[in-house]
Amino acid sequence: MEVPFLDLKPQYEKMKTEIEAAIQPVLLTQQFILGPAVRDLEPAVAEYCGAKFGVGCASGSDALLLSLMALDVKQGDEVIVPAFTFFATAGAVHRLGARPVFADIDPVTFNLDPAALERAITPKTKAIIPVHLFGQCADMDGINAGAEAKGTPVIEDAAQAIGAKAKGRRAGGLATIGVLSFFPSKNLGAFGDGGMLTTNDAALAERLARLRVHGSRVKYVHEEVGFNSRLDTLQAAILLVKMRYLDQWHSGRRENAKYYTQRFTGTAVASPAEVAGNYHVFNQYTIRVKNRDEVFAHLKASGVGCDIYYPVPLHLQKCFEYLGYKVGDFPESEKAAAEVISLPIYPELPRAHQEYVAEKVLEKAR
């Protein structure tokens, strides 16, 4: 049996008529950049996340960069990020000439450990970027408490976690700025790249909107140097349609996660845990196994789509050698990188495919 890691075609088939109808006005008006659909999507996403303002941009990676620029992160500043996450979180810090300062993760959630954060803060810390990895909120109470004690702003990297909740509040509304990605594989995915920033601060929202168009509010008048990072109108029109289904898709992912967890309980497979008070949206269903490479190879040979997010923690990436970190500095991040495998979890995944995936995992896990 062949099981794709992600198959977006069934999703599209269900919405095809609605999407075609939504993009038709864009084609007729030819307003492809920051058109009406973008202006409709921004407040819709902000409200969904529990924030006052939304600012669309070209990608989640750009959203990280814009958020740091809006907080005046500059060369020589330090920004704390988890050692185990997608590269863009630290890459945005480096691009501004600032120094990524890594901190270890909570082994249960894969998210930034507030205790590790406390140890990493210095007088040079200009911002903190916790990541809601795989679709579960980080411990924002603990992280925000540590940040507030030092007067440090927090950027939520919620690229994988739109719709996730912590104590009833949604990701993207839990910090100074929230960062979202609409990459096609995300729970709310566009037909290409796209991103958004959310905030409750009107001045920050205005500055973010200015920075995404070369630092300009009035055409050809530039108050500061920004760059070109605009969410195009076609993508916004598509996302407005897909938002109608988002909570339904979360429920489907959670049902699929429940099935896997039931199958893996009492075995050598460690299933992802949902922390009490959290609502996990399972952008990825990431298991841990001691013999990860053996299980991963077996799944691939058996036709099971799967992936490793992430095989090398950030502090051990070659491009960050200059920071001086070494093996052993962040043991939980290093252990996670050696043990994780992400399994198919998309909402339309047939149960027969899930059964096959679980069977193949259990054949080798030990």
- The CATH number given to whatever domain includes residue 252 is 3.90.1150.10
- The answer on 312 and 207 residing in a single domain is no
Q: What is the mean pLDDT of residues 230-246?
A: 98
- The answer on 277 and 155 residing in a single domain is no
- The answer on 307 and 217 residing in a single domain is no
Residue 337, in any domain of the structure: yes
When divided into structural domains, the chain yields a total of 2
- The answer on 213 and 357 residing in a single domain is no
- The answer on 252 and 140 residing in a single domain is no
Residue 236, in any domain of the structure: yes
Q: Are 94 and 102 in contact (CB under 8 A)?
A: no
Residue 2, in any domain of the structure: no
Domain CATH code at residue 186: 3.40.640.10
One-letter amino acid at 300 equals K
Residue 58, in any domain of the structure: yes
What tokens does 185 get? 């594989």
Of 243, 269, 302, the residue that ends a domain is: 243
Residue 4, in any domain of the structure: no
* Average pLDDT, rounded, for the chain: 97
Instruction: pLDDT band for 8, please (50, 70, 90 cuts).
Output: very high
Domain residues for the domain of 255 are 246-364
Residue 3, in any domain of the structure: no
- The answer on 279 and 143 residing in a single domain is no
pLDDT at res. 145: 95
Rounded-to-integer distance, Cα 209 and Cα 69, Å: 12
The 3-class SS string of the chain reads CCECCCCCHHHHHHHHHHHHHHHHHHHHHCCCECCHHHHHHHHHHHHHHCCCEEEEECCHHHHHHHHHHHCCCCCCCEEEEECCCCCHHHHHHHHCCCEEEEECECCCCCCECHHHHHHHCCCCEEEECCECHHHCCCCHHHHHHHHHHHCCCEEEECCCCCCCEECCEECCCCCCEEEEECCCCCCCCCCCCCEEEEECCHHHHHHHHHHCECCEEECCEECCCCCECCCEHHHHHHHHHHHCCHHHHHHHHHHHHHHHHHHHCCCCCECCCCCCCEECCCCCEEEECCCHHHHHHHHHHCCECCECCCCCCHHHCHHHHHHCCCCCCCHHHHHHHHHEEEECCCCCCCHHHHHHHHHHHHHHCC
Instruction: pLDDT band for 125, please (50, 70, 90 cuts).
Output: very high
pLDDT at res. 237: 98
pLDDT at res. 151: 94
- The answer on 256 and 238 residing in a single domain is no
Q: What is the mean pLDDT of residues 129-145?
A: 97
- The answer on 238 and 223 residing in a single domain is yes
Residue 117, in any domain of the structure: yes
pLDDT at res. 227: 96
Of 243, 266, 287, the residue that ends a domain is: 243
- Of all residues in the chain, the percent with pLDDT exceeding 70 is 100
Instruction: pLDDT band for 164, please (50, 70, 90 cuts).
Output: very high
Q: Are 135 and 282 in contact (CB under 8 A)?
A: yes
Rounded-to-integer distance, Cα 185 and Cα 208, Å: 25
Q: What is the mean pLDDT of residues 93-101?
A: 98
- The answer on 311 and 200 residing in a single domain is no
Residue 150, in any domain of the structure: yes
- The answer on 193 and 271 residing in a single domain is no
Neighbours of 80 (CB within 10 A): 28
Of 199, 220, 243, the residue that ends a domain is: 243
- The answer on 275 and 197 residing in a single domain is no
Which of 139, 155, 148, 183 lies closest to 276, judged by CA? 139
Instruction: pLDDT band for 299, please (50, 70, 90 cuts).
Output: very high
- The answer on 173 and 47 residing in a single domain is yes
pLDDT at res. 157: 98
- Least confidently predicted of 65-74, 85-94, 214-223: 214-223
What tokens does 118 get? 């406390």
